[in-house]
Amino acid sequence: MPNPAMIVAPQPEAVEAGADALAAGGSAADALVACALAQGVVDPMMCGLAGLGVLQIHDPASGETTVLDALSTCPAAAREAMWADRFLGECSDGYGYRLEGAANEIGHGAVTTPGILRLLELAHRRWGRLPWHGLFDAAIGHAEEGWTVRPHVHVMFTADEAPYGRLSMTDKLAFTPEGRALYLRGDGTPKRPGDRVVNPAMAATLREVAAGGAEVLHGGALGARIADDMARHGGLLTRDDLAGFRVAEAPPLRVAFQGHVVAVPAPPAGGIVVAEALRILERFDLAVLGHNTPPYIHVVTGAMRVALADREAHIGDPAFHAPPLDRLLSDAHADAAAARIRAGLPAPALREAGEPRDTTTISVLDRDGRLATLTQTLGVPSGVIPPGTGIMLNGAMNWYDPRPGRPGSIAPGKKRFSSMAPTVLFGPDGRALATLGAPGGAWIGVALIQVLLNLVVFRMTMQEAVQAPRFSATTPAIDISNRIPRAVQRELERMGHKVKRSFHSYPFAAPHGIALAGGVPQGGADPQRDGMALRVD
């Protein structure tokens, strides 16, 4: 009997598309491509053909673990000071910058050079088995025949990001005639759970890409239509930008933790936050402290704060600013941080933070034991749907600092730091034990740290690990889930911490993953989203 396979993601339609690929004999790469394409249809503000992403894949046959980085780049026409005189301030969640007129967030000037389609094609070429064009069937079917708005899609459609300093999602949906026709009701409000979305233009676009591959966007007719629309409306993106985009390939960043090895993507992706925090936490007996006790939360949030502060201070695009990874991951740095936590010294100051929710994830295991995990996004949606394409373009220029001379400042060809951190966990014998990822902006790292601790220290199943109550240290306060007991909150406050209780039961990102227990896959889908895990025998 063949080994079982599994796929997990936040959208049931996308999970089914990936499971169908696995059932047809497809590899992890095949399933991931089919799932990712379907996600772009049924979660159109989260991701799509004009988005960006990071993939990590482990092949047990070769022993190789590879990261593919398709984070978007500033178009060549971008200039460091082009918006400096319009700068109003930083978004309060640490993801984005406010400009007078919001040109970096909505409209054609907000669009960066996308890369996700090149990533999917490269992954399929390297590790796929099924025909490329067949992996589009589910996505095309949902676009052409229609799909039903789910609860979390509606949450996204109606999200008011004004508290963070960004526009509402409804403004993005209404930006173009195509967006209004697709996603709004007759009264101008977003479609509600149970309403249908039919997008024949997107189906036609998907058919083009199924027939011609990524080159259709990066050098062909689709890219030309998008570039022409950019030119008509003063956008930065050009045909040359699209043609010149290349996926970066590298091994993951690896750190040891309690006899295990955790593999995460290096900067400009967000694995450094996970890696540095785990290096610090290695210095504590977390099992003795006990899961989610006040001393445990004190220690873990202390490590989070150090890692997050170091990320803010030191991490950008390595091609422009070399990150001091050796120092940040050194024994000396971890020892010093652990000593400060034990001594109860003040943690590094952090800005207020929240969650840009426009990101999604996939984890997949195939019958050959290959594990893959992808996180993809639009950055923030730009609102731009070029006529006749049916696809929303990314708005990732919002991530770049309009002030010159900073690590995150605008520059042609530059990538911006992203918290996305698709992760693979290896056991003491070197075998892959789990793969996981999460949407959730600044909360991605803190959520993945806790899931890893739940798996390694407390021996939880993957479902237990992703749904256990979480906390966060991305703000000056310790933010806690509403399922963390009030007695724990009171004790933390007696210890000198400011604590803020969320009214959500499952806040702080939305991790999804697959663990292998004795070779048997266990899926975990965070209950706050609409997704699931499917096993394929």
Which burial class, exposed, middle or buried, applies to 212 when counting CB atoms under 10 A from its CB (0-12, 13-18, 19+)?
A: middle
The pLDDT assigned to 96 comes to 81
Whether 336 has a pLDDT exceeding 60, the answer reads yes
Give the Cα separation of 109 and 394 in Å (integer): 10
Mean pLDDT computed over every residue of the chain: 94
Please report the domains of the chain, with CATH numbers, ordered by start residue.
Answer: 5-53+68-245+376-399 (no CATH), 250-355+419-526 (1.10.246.130)
- Exactly one of 73, 113, 205, 359 is catalytic; which is it? 359
Active site (annotated) includes residue 360: no
- Per the CB < 8 A criterion, the answer to whether 248 and 69 are in contact is yes
The pLDDT assigned to 355 comes to 40
Q: For the residues 470-488, what does the mean pLDDT come to? A: 95
- CB burial of 120-135 (b: ≥16 within 10 Å; e: otherwise) equals bbbbbeebbebebeeb
Specify the pTM.
0.95
Whether 349 has a pLDDT exceeding 70, the answer reads no
Residue 412 identity: P
Angle at 32 between CA 30 and CA 38, to 5 degrees: 105
pLDDT digits (tens, 9 = 90+) for 158-200: 988 777 778 889 999 999 999 999 999 999 999 999 999 999 9
Whether 357 has a pLDDT exceeding 90, the answer reads no
Whether 91 has a pLDDT exceeding 90, the answer reads no
pLDDT digits (tens, 9 = 90+) for 207-255: 999 999 999 999 999 999 999 999 999 999 999 999 999 999 999 999 9
pLDDT digits (tens, 9 = 90+) for 513-531: 999 988 899 999 999 999 9
Residue 444 identity: I
Instruction: Return the percent helix, strand and coil in the chain, to nearest 5.
Output: 40, 20, 45
pLDDT digits (tens, 9 = 90+) for 380-420: 899 999 999 999 999 999 989 999 998 889 999 999 989 99
Q: For the residues 283-309, what does the mean pLDDT come to? A: 97
Whether 353 has a pLDDT exceeding 70, the answer reads no
SS (H, E, C) 44-104: CCCCCCCCEEEEEEEECCCCEEEEEEECCECCCCCCCCCCHHHEEEECCCCCCEEECCCCC
Q: For the residues 470-497, what does the mean pLDDT come to? A: 95
Confidence bin at 461 (pLDDT 50/70/90): very high
Token pair of 69 as six digits: 């980085």
pLDDT digits (tens, 9 = 90+) for 110-163: 999 999 999 999 999 999 999 999 999 999 999 999 999 999 999 999 988 777
The pLDDT assigned to 93 comes to 64
Residue 394 per-residue DSSP state: B
Confidence bin at 56 (pLDDT 50/70/90): very high
Percent of the residues in the chain that have a pLDDT greater than 70, as a whole number: 98
